[in-house]
Amino acid sequence: MPGPLNRRKFISQTAVGGAAAGLVISAKSAASEAPSDKLVVAVMGLSRGSSLARTFAQQPGVNLKYVCDVDTQRLAGCAKGLEEDIGEAPQTATDFRRILDDKSVDVFVCAAPNHWHGPATILACQAGKHVYVEKPCSHNPREGELMAIAAARHSRAVQVGTQRRSGPVWQTAIRTLSEGAIGRVYLVRSWYNDARGPIGTGQVAEVPAHIDYDLWQGPAPRRPYVDNLVHYKWHWRWHWGNGELGNNGVHALDFIRWGLDVDFPVRVTSSGGRYRWVDDQETPDTHTVCFEFADRRQITWEGLSCNRHGGGFVGFYGDNGTLMVNSSGAATVFDRADKKVVEHPAGGRGDVEHVTNLLDAIRNDTPTALNSGIADAYKSTLLSQLGNIAQRTGRTLNCDPTNGHVLDDPEAMQLWSREYEPGWEPTV
């Protein structure tokens, strides 16, 4: 990573707190004992995972050995597309446990639905695999805590898919803050706008022959197959998803937490609901959340899922000016008189750099160089989860600033974890 970015998180992203404190990740001690420069990769979940499979396969010294999905049609299509793109078809699997049993696999990529992220990552660490796990890193806060412990206990490098941490233009924006361009930052505002339509009212139906629905559900308690949820629209049901705040909001919250240099909030409030469509969706389509921190600082996030107009990405507000960053990473500094004084150009999200960062950390045995290691990255997902808990309970959450746990509210803390299908409870 070019040049020091004087942010505490940049130099301690993989320092594990709580029960995992003091455990050191040794990324090079892979169970496979494969040659240090040749890394064998497997990808689970072939919606977002299809793109990740291509990115990994295109890196030097990488063998994409497996792609995995419970939908055999999607699995076959992805394997065929990869063969056309990279000249070689990977092996296919519907059950990821077959991949974890293969000692030659060094890196396991989890891009399955959210309810899989925590349990699959923990199992992969226990099987000796390094992990790239998509955002949000977990379905609920307890899973995030367990993932950090598992990564350290089993000496695994676990990178979370908040890839802007690796993008050069995003690093430039953080450096601008670190250098004091707008003074002390006390408020950060963020927005997400989209034009999502309704999902209708689903009907209980026969499971399509090409989908292993029991394995799709995995750790989630069993529910009948409904014809308007698989694939993707499960995002808007609490049983499997985390709504827009956990889907896209976590990208902004991670970038903000990095720039603001904060960990856990002291108070979280939420307002909003299902305002646009009347259908099977449970998560808000119109949502505003506020996160307050102990040192007189605040983050706000506004999600408008059904109207594209307005908003932006992130605005940092300081005592000497403002830094606005758009969704392409272009950053503009305004002084106290609102005069534009500095502009930085846009660039990519950091997808390739993020994958390269993980591979380098594994090869060089430098896990603390992970740009979005699980020991720190789960805190960003936690913000989105706290916002959702505040929304679901309808109450302000007062939080412990040392770990984010909700204080004096047993009902809210019931949502800190979840019920699991028997036999699938994650343990470390």
- Claim to verify: residue 288 and residue 147 sit in the same structural domain: no
Question: What does pTM read for this prediction?
Answer: 0.92
CATH number for the domain including 402? 3.30.360.10
Residue 31 pLDDT greater than 90, yes or no: no
- Claim to verify: residue 152 and residue 236 sit in the same structural domain: no
- Beta strand segments in 383-427, E: 397-398
Yes or no: say if 378 and 161 are a contact pair by the CB < 8 Å rule. Answer: no
* Bond into 136 cis (ω within 30): yes
Yes or no: say if 254 and 165 are a contact pair by the CB < 8 Å rule. Answer: yes
pLDDT in tens, 223-242: 999 999 999 999 999 999 99
Residue 181: pLDDT band (50, 70, 90) is very high
Yes or no: say if 249 and 303 are a contact pair by the CB < 8 Å rule. Answer: yes
Residue 28 pLDDT greater than 50, yes or no: no
Angstrom distance (rounded) from CA 326 to CA 267 = 27
pLDDT (0 to 100) of residue 36: 53
- Claim to verify: residue 15 and residue 128 sit in the same structural domain: yes
- Claim to verify: residue 44 and residue 177 sit in the same structural domain: no
Residue 283's domain comprises 168-198+232-350+380-414
Structural domain includes residue 206: no
Residue 14 pLDDT greater than 50, yes or no: no
The more confidently predicted of residues 156 and 36 is 156
The mean predicted confidence, pLDDT, of the chain is 92
- Claim to verify: residue 43 and residue 191 sit in the same structural domain: no
Look at the chain and report how many structural domains it folds into: 2
pLDDT (0 to 100) of residue 366: 83
CATH number for the domain including 15? 3.40.50.720
pLDDT in tens, 43-99: 999 999 999 999 999 999 999 999 999 999 999 999 999 999 989 899 999 999 999
- Claim to verify: residue 276 and residue 138 sit in the same structural domain: no
**Chain centroid offset of residue 212 CA:** 25
- Claim to verify: residue 101 and residue 42 sit in the same structural domain: yes
pLDDT (0 to 100) of residue 25: 38
pLDDT in tens, 131-162: 999 999 999 999 999 999 999 999 999 999 99
